[in-house]
Chain A
Amino acid sequence: MLEQLLFVLIAIAAIWLFARNVKTIRRNILLGKDIDRSDNPSERWRTMAMVALGQSKMMTRPIAGFFHILIYAGFIIINIEVLEIIIDGIFGTHRILSFAGGLYNFLIGSFEFLAVGVLLACIIFLIRRNIIHLKRFSGVEMKGWPVSDANYILIAEILLMTAFLLMNATDNKLQQLEAAHYHTAGSFPVTSALASLLPNNESTLVLIERTCWWFHIVGIFAFLNYIPYSKHFHIVLAFPNTWYSNLNNKGKFNNMTSVTNEVKAMLDPSFTPPADATPGRFGAKDVTDLTWVNLLNAYSCTECGRCTSNCPANMTGKLLSPRKIMMDTRDRLEEVGNNIDKHGKDYQDGKALLGDYITPEELWACTTCNACTEACPVNIDPLSIIVELRRYLVMEESNAPSSINNMFGNIENNQAPWKYSPADRTNWINN
C-alpha cells in the first residue's frame, strides 16, 4: 500500500512539473509576433503525418535514419508497456493487461526485440559522436552543453532499456519459479535466454525485479522532466512544428505589409494606411521580433546538423551555421524568458539576438539557397530568421557591406543591380 502511495505521489509530481515547464516554453514561444499558419489544414495534417509521424526526411541519410526510426518506434511502442506499468503501480497489480492472452504475449515479445534494437542504436549513436567523431556533430556551436546533452539522452535510454530488459528477465524467472504475485503472463523471447545467468534465490530475484521496475518508471518520470531543458524536446515539438511548417514554394519570401503601406503612401499620396497598421521595427533584432513559428522552430531543433552540413557557406569555411542560428535563437529566448520570470515582463537586459548571439558576418554568408530548410527532418526554417535579421541590418541600421549598398544604389538609379544605363537594355539584340 505504501508502495502504491509513493508511486502515485511521484507520478503526480512528475506530471505537474512537466506541465509547468511546458507552459513556460509555450509562453516563451508566444512572445513571437503573430503569423497565420491555419490555412490548408488537410495539407498540414498530411505534412505532419509524412514528416513527423512517418519520418520521411530521415532516410536521406540511411544509417542515421534507420537507427533513428528504430529508437522512435521503440519509444512509441514500448510506451504501451509503460501504460501497464502505471496501472500496476497505482493498483499494486502484476501485468494487468495479460488478460489479452496471445495478443499480450505478442506485444511483450515485440517490446523485447525493440528494446534490444533501441539499446543497439543508442550504443551506435554514442560511438558515432564520441569515438568516430562525425564532423556533423562538431562545430563552434557544439561545445559544452549540447555535447553533454546528446550523450545524457543516449545514456538515459540505454539505462532505461537495460532496466526494462532486466525486469522482464527476472519476472520471467519468478514466473517459472511460480513465485507468489508473479503469475504467468507475457512471453519473453529475448530475456528468457538470461534465466541461467540470474540467481535462483526468490527474494533476490524479487529485489532485482522491483529495483528495475522502480528504476524504469522513475527513470521515465525523471527523463520526462529532463526533456524540456534538452534538445530532446523535439520528440514533442516535431509534431506541431511540421503542422505549422511553411507550405509555400521555398523561394517565396514574405512581403512585409508594414513596408507595403509605406511604399503605397510614397507612390500614391492619397493612400491612407489602415488604422491598425503598427509601424514597429523593420526586420528582427531580437527574438521577440521574430514570429512564434520561428521560435517554435528553435525549440524543435534537435541539433542534428543536417542543415549545417548541407550549407554551402558552412562547407566552404564561412562562419554561418544554420544550426547555430537555431540554437542561438533558443538560447536567447530562454534568456528573455528567464528575465521575465525574474524581473517582470518589461525588463530589458540590453542584449539582443543580433550582435550578442549572431554576427552580421554569419548573416552575410548566406546564399538563401534553401539547402538548410530542405535538409531539416522536421521542416525548421533557419532562412527566414536570417532574412529577418538582414532586414533589420539593412532597413534599420543601413549596415550592409558596401558592395551591397552599391547594388541598392544601382537598382534605385539605373533599375539594374549593375551600373548600366537603362537605355542599353536592348543592346543584346545587336551584339
Chain B
Amino acid sequence: MNELHIKTMADYMAAGEEPEILFWVGCAGSFDERAQKITKAVATILNNIGIKFAILGTEESCTGDPAKRAGNEFLFQMMAMTNIELLNAYNIKKIVTACPHCFNTLKNEYPGLGGNYEVIHHSQLIQQFINEGRLKIENGETFKGKKITYHDPCYLGRANGVYEAPRAVIEQLDAELTEMKRCRSNGLCCGAGGAQMFKEPEKGNKDINIERTEEALALKPDVIAVSCPFCMTMIRDGVKLAEKEEIVQVLDIAEIATKANGWT
C-alpha cells in the first residue's frame, strides 16, 4: 500500500476481488522520470473518480510494440503471447493505457494472437468521465485565458482515429485551444514513432521534433498539450532547445485534468 493506493492484479486476486479496469502503465510510464508524472496523474484521476483499478506491477512487460515497428516480429510475438497468457489468466476485460503505442498494439494486434480486451486510451476514459459528469474541471490551477495547442500523437490520431477525446479536456477549461495547421489527420509526427525513439535519427537537415516544436511555438502557446509519453520527450526536447521551457509548459492531458482540479 502507498499514498496513491495502487493495487496490483496479484493484490486483487489474493483478496478474491476483481478490479473494474486494468491500468497498463507502459515502459515509458514506469521508467521515464517525466512520464512517471503522467502515470501518477492517471492514477490520481482514477482514485478521485473512485474507480477500482489495478496495475500489473512487476508482472507488466513491454507490449512488443517497438520490436514490431522495427521489424522484429519474433520478439513482438514472444512478448505478446506471454502478455496475453498473463492477461487471460487474470481474466482481464478492460484496459486503459497512458501510451498510444501500448494502446494501439493491445487494441489492434493482440486480438489476432488470442488477446481480446476492451482497450481505451486514458484521454478517452477522461472524456467519458467528463461526459458522465463525474469529472469536473474546477477548484484547481486556472487555465483561464491561457493559450493551449494540442499535438496529435500518430498512434492515437491517424492510427486509431482518436482526435476529439484529448481535445474534450482542453475544451472544458476556460482556455483558448489553438490548432496548429498540421493537426488531426494531417498532424505531424513528433519523430519518435516506428522505434525512432530508440535510435539516432538518420542523416537529414533537421530533427523532426524541432520541426514540430517550431510549428507549435509559432502559435506562442502557454501550454503544448500531448497525450503520449514519447511525444512528451520529443516536444520537451524541442522546447528546451528553443530555450522556451520557462514560458511554455508541455503537459499531458491527464496532467491538465489533475492540475485543473487541484489534485496532486
A residues touching B (Cβ–Cβ < 8 Å)?
60, 248-253, 255-256, 259-260, 262-264, 266-267, 282-283, 310, 312-313, 315-320, 361, 364-371, 374, 387, 390-395, 400-401, 403-404, 406-408, 411-412, 415-418, 420, 422-431
- Digit string of B73-108 for contact with A (CB within 8 Å is 1, else 0)? 111011101100000000000000000000010011
Residue in chain A with minimal CB distance to B100: A251
B204 adjacent to A317 (CB under 8 Å): yes
What are 19 residue pairs bridging A and B, where the CB atoms are less than 8 Å apart in the complex? A248-B108, A249-B107, A249-B159, A267-B82, A282-B73, A312-B189, A317-B205, A365-B202, A369-B189, A370-B158, A394-B72, A400-B72, A407-B70, A411-B64, A411-B67, A415-B60, A424-B31, A426-B58, A430-B2
CA of A129 to CA of B170 in the docked complex: distance in angstroms? 43
Q: Does B177 contact A (CB under 8 A)?
A: no
B194 adjacent to A428 (CB under 8 Å): no
Chain A positions within 8 Å of B201 at CB level: 316, 318, 365
Q: Does B191 contact A (CB under 8 A)?
A: yes
| Pairs of residues from A and B, 5 with the lowest C-beta to C-beta distance, nearest first | A251-B159, A368-B194, A390-B71, A317-B205, A317-B204
Chain A positions within 8 Å of B82 at CB level: 267
| A263 and B68 in contact, given A312-B188, A317-B204, A426-B6 (Cβ under 8 angstroms) | no
Q: Does B130 contact A (CB under 8 A)?
A: no
Q: Does B144 contact A (CB under 8 A)?
A: no
Chain A positions within 8 Å of B237 at CB level: none
Chain A positions within 8 Å of B194 at CB level: 366-369
Q: Pick out which of these stretches binds chain A: B13-21, B22-30, B241-249.
A: B22-30
A252 adjacent to B74 (CB under 8 Å): no
Other A-B pairs, 10, CB within 8 Å; known A263-B81, A312-B191, A407-B199: A248-B108, A263-B78, A312-B212, A316-B204, A374-B186, A404-B198, A412-B75, A423-B58, A426-B55, A429-B6
| A411 and B108 in contact, given A316-B206, A367-B189, A371-B158 (Cβ under 8 angstroms) | no
Contact of B36 among A315, A367, A431 (CB under 8 A): A431
Contact of A249 among B43, B108, B185, B198 (CB under 8 A): B108
| A415 and B62 in contact, given A317-B204, A391-B73 (Cβ under 8 angstroms) | yes
Segment 126-164 of B: residues with Cβ below 8 Å from A: 154-155, 158-161
Q: Does B259 contact A (CB under 8 A)?
A: no
**Size of chain B's interface in residues, with CB distance under 8 A?**
72
B73 adjacent to A256 (CB under 8 Å): yes
Chain A positions within 8 Å of B165 at CB level: none
CA of A365 to CA of B75 in the docked complex: distance in angstroms? 21
| A417 and B62 in contact, given A367-B193, A426-B57 (Cβ under 8 angstroms) | yes
Chain B positions within 8 Å of A415 at CB level: 60-62, 79
Q: How many A-B residue pairs have CB under 8 A?
A: 213
| A370 and B81 in contact, given A387-B71, A403-B198, A404-B195 (Cβ under 8 angstroms) | no
A428 adjacent to B40 (CB under 8 Å): yes
CA of A250 to CA of B109 in the docked complex: distance in angstroms? 11
Residue in chain A with minimal CB distance to B29: A428
Residue in chain B with minimal CB distance to A283: B71
Q: How far is the CB of B149 from chain A (nearest CB, A)?
A: 18
A361 adjacent to B203 (CB under 8 Å): yes
B113 adjacent to A255 (CB under 8 Å): yes
| A316 and B61 in contact, given A403-B198, A428-B25 (Cβ under 8 angstroms) | no
Chain B positions within 8 Å of A256 at CB level: 73, 77
Chain B positions within 8 Å of A249 at CB level: 104, 107-108, 159-161
Q: Does B181 contact A (CB under 8 A)?
A: no
Q: Does B166 contact A (CB under 8 A)?
A: no
CA of A238 to CA of B85 in the docked complex: distance in angstroms? 43
Chain A positions within 8 Å of B66 at CB level: 407, 411, 417
Q: How far is the CB of B208 from chain A (nearest CB, A)?
A: 5
